[in-house]
Structure 1
């Protein structure tokens, strides 16, 4: 079995994030991406060399070669690997990268509030057959 070129570590409790991962999954016809939900019980990021606080702060990805990509670098790699690099073309422009990275970090820090403002429904969490929506904002 072929190892994915990039594994994305995403927050499956973030409605916007989950929608984007769903879109990437749909475009991932060649299987170049793998996806790991960091909100799953028992997930341990130790093997990545980062802690949960860092993973929760920004999207992380790990390449097949073992390199860890963070924030906009993860997004650029993911969209490029599924043939949608033009979606994130501004991330390739060197003078735009610092302000876009800053804006991304602000977005990521407020992703639950922004998800709600954008009309995304909270992701339900279920345990023992009982489900509830998580509203961390």
Structure 2
């Protein structure tokens, strides 16, 4: 699969104060062995630089990303490109299927609005094992700036 040349590095704007968001971003951070993703915590006290055309409130409502060429992405599309960047595109590829994609686009904002109500235990169950595996994988694989990776 080819990707747009202006897509990566992709800057993800996320809220670390949300257990679910933080778990998912930690998982992506550990799998980001090629450096295709950058992470910005919008809940950090010193955060004051939202991407063009957005506000902090926008970033707290739905996940956003900014592509290398400056485009701003929102919602499910962010996850599609982020997971592709770490070699897990197959996980979110169904969001491009007609029926499932439409459903994902409608349900994600509902989940995003209610994410703080998700118990921490659910976040731990969803991401602890995946994060541990990602850390092991990242520790075993080293990449140089020229995208040469070794095991």
TM-score range relative to shorter protein: 0.7 to 0.9
User: 1:111 Cα shift?
Assistant: 0.3
For 2:101 and 2:49, the matched residues in 1 are separated by 27
Runs of 5+ unmatched residues, structure 1: 121-137
Does 2:95 align with 1:91?
yes
Q: Identify the range of structure 1 (44-53 vs 97-106) with the bigger mean alpha-carbon deviation.
A: 44-53
User: 1:115 Cα shift?
Assistant: 3.6
Does 2:10 align with 1:6?
yes
Residue number in structure 2 paired with 1:51: 55
For 1:35 and 1:69, the matched residues in 2 are separated by 14
- Report which of the two has the higher share of helix: 2
In the TM superposition, 1:4-43 aligns within 5 A as 5-43=9-47
User: 1:72 Cα shift?
Assistant: 0.2
CA-atom RMSD in angstroms: 1.8
Runs of 5+ unmatched residues, structure 2: 1-7, 125-151
Partner secondary structure for residue 41 of structure 1: coil
Partner secondary structure for residue 54 of structure 2: coil
User: 1:102 Cα shift?
Assistant: 1.3
Q: Is the 8 A contact 1:14 1:115 kept in 2?
A: no
Question: CA offsets per residue over residues 91-117 of structure 1, 9 Å max, x none?
Answer: 121332221111111000000101446
TM-score calculated relative to the size of structure 1? 0.79
TM-score calculated relative to the size of structure 2? 0.72
User: 1:16 Cα shift?
Assistant: 0.8
Cα gap change, 1:98/1:31 in structure 2, threshold over 3 Å: closer, same or farther? same
- Report which of the two has the higher share of strand: 1
Cα gap change, 1:119/1:95 in structure 2, threshold over 3 Å: closer, same or farther? closer
For 2:123 and 2:112, the matched residues in 1 are separated by 17
Q: Is the 8 A contact 1:107 1:114 kept in 2?
A: no
For 2:92 and 2:123, the matched residues in 1 are separated by 23
Partner secondary structure for residue 69 of structure 1: strand
